[in-house]
Structure 1
Amino acid sequence: MLMKAAAQSLTEQLASHFAERIRSRLLAGGARLPSVRQCAQQHQVSASTVVAAYDRLLALGLVEARKNRGFYVRETTPAQDVLARAATHSGANEGPPRRPIDATALMRGMFQGDSDKPQPGMGVLPPDWLENSFMPAAVRRVAAGTADFSRRYGDPAGDPGLRQSLSKKLAGLHVHAGPEQIITTVGATHALDIASRTLLRAGDYVMVEEPGWAVEFARLEAMGMRILPVPRHADGPDLEVMARYCEAHSPKLFVSVSVLHNPTGFSLTPGSAHRVLTLANAHNFYILEDDTYSHLAPEHATRLCVLDGLQRTLYASGFSKILAPGWRVGFLAAPLALVERLTDTKLLATLTTPALLEKALAWCIDQGQLRRHSERVRERLDQARARSTKLVLAAGCRFASEPAGLFGWVDTGVDTDALAQRMLDEGYMLAPGALFHANRQPSSLMRINFANAQDAAFWKVFTRVRAGAS
């Protein structure tokens, strides 16, 4: 809320409000600011106050005016970002500098945690869902044993015991990968990064499903890759689009979330999987299969690497979603011929991975603790999904895909970029649909986390704010 009696003028307060969101990337490059009329109504100030505030943002180089279209957040270089911060803050009051990189608004919000309210835009389970006693016990058990492993770097591919446990666990999903085909990583994102850096060079074409994980687009762009967005349907990727890309661009890699796709919840069908693999063999590209949500999915779900036998596929997964976001243990299963190259890439980036956590995780897997914990979470998620679905429909929204897994793909009927900004003022973070496209574009869709969308109070605020935005 803007305060008339504050030391700063209303114009200064409003400019600072938007400037901070732009610097923290909660307003991403290319995002449109509210119209002058909308902003004036929302903040209960005059149109001239809004115009003056926007002029200040223009002078700071944070936004740009587009004729007859409004004001948009500028894409800034690292040097420009530093200059903008220097121009709007005194050095004495500045906190740690934020990384001036092109990341999504969604991910910035996930790490800031400014509100204690349930956040439907978050990508993780609520902390109380992840509470358990077996993880601390596993760490204590490992730490109390021999500490020799902590005084050495250990196996470059990762703890041998964990790789053995992972091999047995994957066999339960019909993924046949020996311990020698598995490399441990610092989370699933690190696994995806190792595979990309090993198989690709700057300028290569990469096919990625769209809508898709916002960070994957940003990560590949930062590496200098040329992204080819492939529409994702209920049964799998659009094969006609993939075939055209193959003929025109000879892509090196296809990145896919086969099971419980983020954000739609779709899962691949066997027929579609077979056709994708046929295309990969015909056009000589690898498939990087991201199975981050495997612990929330049925074991019989179709996975490309099962049908392919890890010949042209690489399989990435991790445990942060089911155990704890801060316990960064992931892995990559790959064709044996690629393992040495992938390990070299890992060595160059991190040297090794934390043996203590890896040994503790192996114990959790071998003792059945992880399996039982996953079953409890799935049961709780099923109940949350049912409640959240009722609230979504009661709020006048509809699902763009059948509710499944952790995420729901919801059509709100209004521009969710604008809606997300207004909901931030209410203390809630949304995940607008524009974040899930390679080229940011207006969208009426948003992704919700079923576990965090059960709060009727949120939907009451959402309904009120959406009515004002329509």
Structure 2
Amino acid sequence: MLTRTSTQSLTEQLAGRFAERIRTRLLAPGARLPSVRECARQQGVSPHTVVAAYDQLLAQGLVEARRQRGFFVRDVIAARAGPAPSTLKPLAEPPVAQPVPADASTLIRGMFHRPSDKPQPGMGVFPSEWLESPFTAAAVRRMTSTRALQDASLQYGEPAGDGGLRRSLATKLASINVPAGPEQIVTTVGATHALDIVSRTLLRPGDPVMVEEPGWALEFARLEALGMRILPVPRKADGPDLEVMERYCNAGDGHKPKLFVSVSVLHNPTGYSLTPGSAHRVLQLANQHGFHIVEDDTYSHLAPEHATRLCALDGLQRTVYVSGFAKILAPNWRIGFLAASPELVGRMLETKLLATLTTPSLFERALAWCIDQGQLRRHAERVRLRLEGARGRTVKLALAAGCTLASEPAGLFGWVDTGVDTDALTQRMLDEGYLLAPGSLFHARRPPSTLMRINFATAQDATFWKVFARVRAQL
């Protein structure tokens, strides 16, 4: 909070706080700053202090004043390439839908630059202490003996990935009934890289892509950056909205979807899992209308093996399977993979070669040892048990704080209705040192929302919910 004992004046502190949020895009271009009166009330300072702070932001070119409307965040990157702030013409009136105060990269940056040392309910990963295990160090030591280290370091690895790891992954996929031999598997730099390879192989700029909504904000941002046309498909408890998918599929030539991106099991952010009936209908649509499906199974280590997966039912004919290990084991090993039909896997390997040549085999060999020795399986069982307890505690705290659950609690994430605008709530909670994941981030067009995604592993802190209840009551 602002303090009068600081070496900086209250004006400098307030201006610095807003400037930092603008530069890190916690306040996105187009977002409106609180009114002078409202900001003064929030921060416990005089309106004169707020006016002076906003004047500093104007002088730095970070905001602009719109007559009788207030102060709005400028696009700092675009402004650097444009004329000086003093010569800018007033911007046209903004569209009705206001930009959200945080974007997809905000949560990603939060993984590396936490707003405080407090538990962060908006994060998408387990706390590091949950992932600590002695066997990962043992695996790396085995792979860094003098001869092994030289073999892994002094030459490029196999283009498709380490052969031992791909054999281990084929066995692991067989346990969830996904038929893929080692020759159908390509390792990647994390699951996001795998998704990118699939998109770059199967799509061209302007192609329509169906994506579940709500869905992971990074996927919307990634596809938009590639120039794809996003077709949101509402995600329901049993699977995607089939009527909406069918309407997209019946569009005229040139408008039919080329790809469907789905998180079938423990969907992010709702926790929903696909039912067999819905899965069969999705596959019927894919075969009838000729689109491919990429199934993101990032949370497979937290799900039961018998969970319904499109790739298992389809046998990798029109489906591509994607997963990784950052969520459950070692985020910095950066190992993901994809599995596809023999007809597609060669094309996807070419896409990988053009981007990264190969992937480092040292950690891939270490991961293969962890899988083959059963260490990964036992570690995942311990994490699932710990998560179950955290989920129960977090649900009780959320209900006591006045929230309701928008979906049945499952997996790592909870989809919670706060009853207030979570974009505004996110900004207020940042003042308290907490980064939230507002519901607008999980929609392609980012409409205002009262929902937020919480991480059960990091939201079981009673202190957070006390602060949350106080700030929520103020809104």
With structure 1 as the length reference, what TM-score do the two structures score? 0.92
Q: Superposed, which structure 2 residues align to 1:325-340 within 5 Å? A: 325-340=331-346
Partner of 1:405: 411
Q: Superposed, which structure 2 residues align to 1:26-425 within 5 Å? A: 26-64=26-64, 70-77=70-77, 80=80, 103-144=104-145, 145-146=147-148, 147-248=150-251, 249-425=255-431
Q: CA deviation at 1:16?
A: 2.1
- Alpha-carbon displacement from aligned partner over 1:324-346 (angstroms, at most 9, x marks no partner): 22121110001111111111111
Residues 102 and 212 from structure 1, CA distance in 2 versus in 1: closer, same or farther, beyond 3 angstroms?
closer
Question: Unpaired runs of 5+ in structure 2?
Answer: 86-101
Contact 1:60/1:84 (<8 A) preserved: no
Per mean C-alpha deviation after superposition, the further-off stretch among 296-305 and 33-42 is 33-42
Q: Name the amino acid aligned to 1:160.
A: G
Distance, in Å, in 1 between the alignment partners of 2:106 and 2:332 is 20
Q: CA deviation at 1:79?
A: 5.9
- Alpha-carbon displacement from aligned partner over 1:209-234 (angstroms, at most 9, x marks no partner): 11111111111111111111111111
Distance, in Å, in 1 between the alignment partners of 2:374 and 2:440 is 40
With structure 2 as the length reference, what TM-score do the two structures score? 0.91
Contact 2:157/2:360 (<8 A) preserved: no
Contact 1:25/1:103 (<8 A) preserved: no
Distance, in Å, in 2 between the alignment partners of 1:402 and 1:164 is 36
Contact 1:25/1:108 (<8 A) preserved: no
State the SS of the aligned residue for 2:21: helix
Q: CA deviation at 1:81?
A: 7.9
Q: Name the amino acid aligned to 1:265.
A: G
Query: How many pairs align?
Result: 454
Per mean C-alpha deviation after superposition, the further-off stretch among 354-363 and 439-448 is 439-448
Q: CA deviation at 1:71?
A: 3.9
Q: Name the amino acid aligned to 1:223.
A: L
Contact 1:416/1:432 (<8 A) preserved: yes
Residues 152 and 263 from structure 1, CA distance in 2 versus in 1: closer, same or farther, beyond 3 angstroms?
same
Distance, in Å, in 2 between the alignment partners of 1:81 and 1:400 is 43
State the SS of the aligned residue for 2:161: coil
- Alpha-carbon displacement from aligned partner over 1:167-205 (angstroms, at most 9, x marks no partner): 000000011111111000011111111111111111111
Contact 1:34/1:418 (<8 A) preserved: no
Q: Name the amino acid aligned to 1:393.
A: L
Q: Name the amino acid aligned to 1:181.
A: Q
Residues 33 and 338 from structure 1, CA distance in 2 versus in 1: closer, same or farther, beyond 3 angstroms?
same
State the SS of the aligned residue for 2:236: coil
State the SS of the aligned residue for 1:183: strand
State the 4+ residue runs in structure 1 displaced beyond 6 angstroms. 81-85
Task: Output the aligned Cα RMSD.
Answer: 2.2
Q: Name the amino acid aligned to 1:189.
A: T
Per mean C-alpha deviation after superposition, the further-off stretch among 157-166 and 74-83 is 74-83
Partner of 1:96: none
State the SS of the aligned residue for 1:451: coil
Q: Name the amino acid aligned to 2:395.
A: T
Residues 170 and 114 from structure 1, CA distance in 2 versus in 1: closer, same or farther, beyond 3 angstroms?
same
State the SS of the aligned residue for 1:317: strand
Name the % identity: 75
Distance, in Å, in 2 between the alignment partners of 1:301 and 1:257 is 12
Residues 435 and 72 from structure 1, CA distance in 2 versus in 1: closer, same or farther, beyond 3 angstroms?
farther
Question: Unpaired runs of 5+ in structure 1?
Answer: 86-100
Contact 2:271/2:410 (<8 A) preserved: yes
Distance, in Å, in 2 between the alignment partners of 1:102 and 1:449 is 18
Q: Name the amino acid aligned to 2:108.
A: M
Q: CA deviation at 1:56?
A: 4.0
Contact 1:212/1:436 (<8 A) preserved: yes
Residues 70 and 369 from structure 1, CA distance in 2 versus in 1: closer, same or farther, beyond 3 angstroms?
same
Q: CA deviation at 1:8?
A: 4.8
Contact 2:111/2:123 (<8 A) preserved: yes
